[in-house]
Amino acid sequence: MKDIDGLILELVNYALMNELIEEDDKIYVTNRLLEVFEKIGLDTDSEAIKGDVESKKHITRRIAEILSDCLETAINDGLIEDTQLNKDLFDTKIMGVLTPMPSVVRKHFKELYNNSPKFATDYFYELNKACNYIRCDRIEKDQKWKYNSEYGTIDITINLSKPEKDPKDIIKQGQMTASGYPKCLLCKENEGYAGTLSHPARQNLRVIPLELSGEKYYMQYSPYVYYNEHCIVFNDKHIPMKIDKSTFKKLIEFTEKFPHYTLGSNADLPIVGGSILSHDHFQGGAYEFPMARAEYVYTFDMGQFGDVKAGILNWPMSVIRLSSNNKESLVNACDYILYKWRGYTDEEAFIYCNTDGEQHNTITPICRRKADNYEMDLVLRNNITTKECPWGVYHPSANLHHIKKENIGLIEVMGMAILPARLDKEMGILKNALLNNEAIRLISEIEKHAEWVESWKDNYDITRGNVDEIIKSEIGKVFVQVLECAGVYKTDEKGREAFIRFTNNLT
């Protein structure tokens, strides 16, 4: 491992090579890094100083490797405690020194955008990776595969990007008083924030200002990028999620500005909404989700919106797709469906728009460009609960919780499973148990999977060569069932008839 001087010079060289800084910034950035490492100055007798480290042609290591040595040095020198949260706070502080100022990033983004929106987003995405806001080394650990279902190819991922919390950090978090600044992880005040044990550091976060439907928004990338160029577009103000007519306008305007991106919104009610309902935001990116490839199974006429094509999709959840090259007409058609759905009750199908004054019906909307048309998918959602289903009637059923228990949000609605990290370890144990013909019910770590495994293991001749694919395929089947549970109309004949009853109200 290099000494501190060598690491500082390597960081400066990395920043130069990745165009995070310019030659004129070298001395300034070096001094800022000395401050971070609590050093007075560089040792002129250091081997690093004597070596040819200042040349931009000098090959540097991956940033994760450089930072790993920086963290080891900081721990050995007593600058930080050896816990994951403290290490994340410290290496983000380092990268904050190397990351260009917001004004520089925004100016360059705008210059590129004037030539091509894609040039602008390509630059911004690469910047986020170079400055380690997107931690590529962690994301590479995520497991990803495809599952071929009756609805088309489904994406399955096991998220291993988020590090587990250290017990020492958890104790300290409990002793801290929340500052209320920033109010949440999506507030603009996160840009450059140093972070605490209860709030991640964001010195290397940069956001791009946008205007959508006359309101101020910002675009950033998710640090966990579940898919290519996973972006978040959040409101300038800390206001709650709300699906209304302006939502559809904003989605369309965004795809006008960035026609190579999809953008959607989580629903605005608990259970069927996303994890952060307190701050108005959207999610999108340069990725074709499985739902985008779904075909119509039934089309219908919307009468007054004659220039809008409308139909039901072949999808496990209940989706109406609208398509038109007339933006105004498309927005009005979306708003009309939302209005109708908000007030719609069908007791036979167990759909109640409200009970005891509590609203249940809402929509998850997703917008994309298809040639000259704007395409809007409206996923019908309902968050009603019962004594038997306290987690929600249209929520993964209890027999599926061993794989997926969490709410089904926007990304999963579109056909990408975000499964918990615990499954990585559990599936490893399961694999060995299957190969050794062990009783699943007697293994505490995977006992909860026993009934599931017993339902399919006799269908296969399990070998070391196929066991991984078998487990992945069976997980894929479960995720499709999860989506079917979340659908307010089931995909059988009775469910389809009920769905068409609703669409008959739209003509």
Q: What's the pLDDT tens digit per position in 225-235?
A: 999 999 999 99
What is the per-residue pLDDT for 51?
52
Structure tokens at 85: 């949260």
pLDDT at 177 over 80: no
| Peptide bond just before 182 cis, omega within 30 deg | yes
pTM of the model: 0.93
Q: How confident is the model at residue 44 (pLDDT cuts 50, 70, 90)?
A: low
Confidence of residue 55 (pLDDT cuts 50, 70, 90): very low
Token reading at 36: 């971070």
**Burial of 415 per CB tally in 10 Å (0-12, 13-18, 19+):** buried
Q: Tell me which of 51 and 74 has the higher pLDDT.
A: 74
Domain regions of the chain by residue span: 1-79
pLDDT value of position 43:
77
Considering 41-50, 173-182, 340-349, the range whose residues carry the highest mean pLDDT is 340-349
Decide if 135 contacts 394 (C-beta within 8 A): no
Cβ-defined contacts of 419-428 (< 8 Å, 24+): 419/156, 419/157, 419/158, 419/159, 419/475, 419/479, 420/158, 420/159, 421/158, 421/159, 421/160, 421/162, 421/164, 423/158, 423/475, 424/143, 424/158, 424/160, 427/471, 427/475
The DSSP bridge partners found for residue 313 are 296
Looking at residue 343, its pLDDT comes to: 97
Q: pLDDT of 301-341, one tens digit each?
A: 998 999 999 999 999 999 999 999 999 999 999 999 999 99
Residue 495: pLDDT above 60? yes
- Rounded CA separation 241/381 (Å): 15
Residues with Cβ within 8 Å of 33's Cβ and at least 6 positions away in sequence, in order, are 8, 11, 12, 94, 97
* Local structure of residue 351 (DSSP, 8 states): B
SS3 180: coil
Q: Tokens at residue 192, please? A: 């450059």
Q: Is the per-residue pLDDT at 166 higher than 60?
A: no
Q: What is the pLDDT of residues 389-420, one digit of tens each?
A: 999 999 999 999 999 999 999 999 999 999 99
Report helix, strand or coil for 400: helix
Taking residues 17-26, what's their average pLDDT?
Answer: 96
The Cα 506–Cα 185 span in angstroms is 39
| Confidence band of 173 (pLDDT split at 50, 70, 90) | very low
What are the pLDDT digits (tens) for 108-143? 999 999 999 999 999 999 999 999 999 999 999 999
Partnered with residue 362 across adjacent β-strands are 381
Phi-psi region of 358 (alpha: psi -120 to 50; beta: other; left: phi over 0): beta
Q: What is the tens place of the pLDDT at every residue in 193-203?
A: 999 988 999 99
pLDDT averaged over the chain? 93
pLDDT tens by residue, 76-104: 999 999 999 999 999 999 999 999 999 99
- Centroid of chain to Cα 503: 31
How far apart are the C-alpha atoms of 79 and 90, rounded to whole Å? 9
Beta bridge partners of 366: 264, 377
| Cα dihedral 171/172/173/179 (nearest 10) | 150
6, 60 Cβ separation under 8 angstroms: no
DSSP designation for 213 = T
User: What is the Cα–Cα distance from 181 to 200, expressed in whole angstroms?
Assistant: 12
Q: Please give the Cα distance from 349 to 495 (Å, whole number).
A: 8
Residue percentage of the chain with pLDDT more than 90: 88
pLDDT at 162 over 80: no
HSE, CB side, 13 Å, CA atoms: give it for residue 39.
Answer: 18
Residue 32 has pLDDT above 90, yes or no: yes
B/e letters for 346-365, b = 16+ CB within 10 Å, e = fewer, are beebebbbeeeeeebbbbbb
Backbone angles phi, psi at 156, to 5 degrees: -120, 130
Do 132 and 95 touch, CB atoms closer than 8 A?
yes
Question: What is the tens place of the pLDDT at every residue in 251-292?
Answer: 999 999 999 999 999 999 999 987 789 999 999 999 999 999
Radius of gyration of the CA atoms of the chain, in A: 25
